Chains A and B, each alone.
Chain A
Amino acid sequence: GAGVSQSPSNKVTEKGKDVELRCDPISGHTALYWYRQSLGQGLEFLIYFQGNSAPDKSGLPSDRFSAERTGGSVSTLTIQRTQQEDSAVYLCASSSRARVDEQFFGPGTRLTVL
């Protein structure tokens, strides 16, 4: 596709349920990032994938959060046993190997945990 896409655009779930958020990066982009943005806050780094290298998971806030990237393309962020403080917009970005610092962002998934 022309840009980074994310699905769903909005997700409302009940506390304690698991959720999966999907990111389709720009074709050919080797780097993929997940960020979280709480209301009125900056972007909080969660996880980074680069090619076939081991992901940098240093930003994941707890072991309830995990992410995978299949075939070097699509990525899924999974949040288990969701809590109300998980409510935020989850943003995915990708970048090319040649211009790794220029990130292209998806529209985000707004997660609301009731």
Chain B
Amino acid sequence: SQQGEEDPQALSIQEGENATMNCSYKTSINNLQWYRQNSGRGLVHLILIRSNEREKHSGRLRVTLDTSKKSSSLLITASRAADTASYFCAAGGSYIPTFGRGTSLIVHP
């Protein structure tokens, strides 16, 4: 299975702090994606990093990928209360991305 597994399962921080979430996967991938989910509803695509990339930025998001360790991290800088959500990684190696159980992030105002 290429399933992504996020770590930690839950993260609680104060507004303004940085939040780091990690993802591990098992087999070779073409890309890895991060999604956000609010209130158990639809997921929103945040960022995709390809297997030949090591780092990617989008606004306050920074994603790194280490294919030798089969791991990725998502950093949210200067967090806001509105960042409170669950974050999922999805390992893409076939046409069906496989998702982990997510990291639940709570940002306290």
Contacts and interface: CB of A to CB of B under 8 A. Distances in A.
Contact of B40 (A4, A33, A37, A104): A37
Contact of B97 (A39, A101, A106): A101
B95 A48 contact: yes
Interface in A30-70: 31, 33, 35, 37, 39-43, 45, 48, 50, 56
Interface residues of A, number: 27
B9 to A, nearest CB: 9
A105 B43 contact: yes
Contact of A102 (B45, B95, B102): B45
Contact of A101 (B30, B42, B88, B101): B30
B21 to A, nearest CB: 14
Contacts of B43: 43, 91, 93, 103, 105
Nearest to B92: A101
Given A107-B41, A107-B42, A43 B95 contact: no
B24 interface: no
Contacts of A104: 45
Q: Interface residues of B: mostly helix, strand, loop or mixed?
A: strand
B71 interface: no
A37 B97 CA distance: 15
Contacts of B42: 4, 91, 105-108
B45 A89 contact: no
B88 A42 contact: yes
- Across the A-B interface, the 3 shortest Cβ-Cβ residue pairs: A105-B42, A42-B101, A43-B99
Interface of B: 30-31, 33, 35, 40-45, 48, 88, 90, 92, 95-102
Given A42-B102, A43-B99, 12 more contacts: A41-B101, A42-B99, A43-B43, A43-B88, A50-B95, A101-B97, A102-B45, A103-B43, A105-B35, A106-B42, A107-B41, A108-B41
